[in-house]
């Protein structure tokens, strides 16, 4: 069975919406997600600190009992924080200030040497590294050459595709990417935009090690509670 890493960014989004309230707090939200069976907790510390704050990451490191996955841009500031926090995995993502959420995968081919430096620095701290990439075999092969430990396949194009043909085409790319990464002995995570409906499409795709899901789970949690929201997603993943 594939794992489920629950992204708690949007608990922090709700907190930051009022600027100065201490609630809701992503730290107890992570505890609830773990108690419901989550295999890991994800937090994205963005350069603009729009949701997760430094304090969250440091506290999550102290409280997360499964594994803590830190999503971050490949910047000096973030490498320093990761070195200090020592997450169980760093997922490197591209960041643009104006985007609503991470819009595309890393261009591993173009970023080449600078990305390699970041991966080497994190490996020097014994932190494994995953690269968030579009479902493109050329990017995945480049990730292998960079010595990444894993990739996370960006499922946004599949989730956003409108119409059966577009959906099928986008999902075929996800399948090919997952198989390509597995052939190259890279760990394979997948995420972005996945919900209680789109997850069902992954039935039979055994190459995915773990799904990284935030928005849909936190949205359901707002209505039915974190425990139920995480358990509902886990039940669907179990069926895959």
Catalytic positions: 44, 71, 192
Nearest to ligand PXP of 91, 118 (CB atom): 91
3-class SS letters over 66-103: CCEEEEECCCHHHHHHHHHHCCCEEEECCCCCCCCCCC
- Tell me how far, at minimum, the Cβ of 92 lies from ligand PXP, in Å: 9
Burial class (CB in 10 A: 0-12, 13-18, 19+), 67: middle
Nearest to ligand PXP of 32, 69 (CB atom): 69
Tokens of 76: 């000096």
Burial class (CB in 10 A: 0-12, 13-18, 19+), 92: buried
Instruction: Tell me how far apart the alpha carbons of residues 184 and 180 are, in angstroms, rounded to a whole number.
Output: 6
Nearest to ligand PXP of 91, 139 (CB atom): 91
Nearest to ligand PXP of 79, 90 (CB atom): 90
- Tell me how far, at minimum, the Cβ of 101 lies from ligand PXP, in Å: 5
- Tell me how far, at minimum, the Cβ of 90 lies from ligand PXP, in Å: 11
Nearest to ligand PXP of 7, 175 (CB atom): 7
Q: At what angle do helices 215-224 and 26-35 cross, to 10 degrees?
A: 90
Instruction: Tell me how far apart the alpha carbons of residues 82 and 211 are, in angstroms, rounded to a whole number.
Output: 22
Of the candidates 41, 9, 38, the residue with the CA atom closest to the CA atom of residue 235: 38
Burial class (CB in 10 A: 0-12, 13-18, 19+), 25: middle
- Tell me how far, at minimum, the Cβ of 194 lies from ligand PXP, in Å: 6
Residues that bind ligand PXP (CB under 6 A): 7, 9, 44, 71, 91, 93, 101-102, 132, 152, 191-194, 212-216
- Tell me how far, at minimum, the Cβ of 189 lies from ligand PXP, in Å: 8
């Amino acid at each position: 069975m594939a794992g489920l890493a629950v992204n708690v960014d949007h608990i922090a989004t709700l907190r930051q919406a009022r600027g100065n309230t201490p609630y809701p707090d992503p730290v107890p939200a992570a505890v609830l997600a773990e108690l419901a069976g989550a295999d890991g907790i994800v937090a994205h510390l963005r350069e603009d600190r729009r949701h997760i704050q430094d304090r969250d990451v440091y506290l999550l490191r102290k409280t997360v009992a499964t594994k803590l996955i830190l999503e971050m841009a490949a910047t000096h500031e973030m490498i320093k924080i990761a070195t200090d926090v020592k997450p169980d995995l760093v997922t490197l993502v591209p960041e643009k200030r104006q985007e609503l959420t991470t819009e595309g995968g890393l261009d591993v081919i173009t970023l080449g040497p600078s990305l390699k430096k970041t991966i080497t620095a994190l490996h020097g701290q014994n932190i494994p590294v995953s690269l968030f990439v579009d479902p493109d075999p050329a990017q995945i092969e480049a990730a292998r050459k960079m010595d990444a430990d894993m990739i996370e396949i960006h499922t946004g194009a599949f989730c956003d595709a409108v119409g059966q043909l577009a959906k099928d085409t986008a999902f075929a790319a996800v399948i090919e990417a997952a198989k390509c990464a597995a052939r190259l002995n890279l760990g394979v995570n997948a995420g972005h935009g996945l919900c209680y409906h789109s997850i069902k499409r992954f039935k039979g795709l055994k190459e995915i090690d773990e799904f990284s899901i935030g928005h849909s789970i936190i949205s359901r949690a707002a209505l039915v509670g974190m425990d139920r929201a995480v358990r509902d997603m886990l039940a669907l993943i179990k069926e895959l």
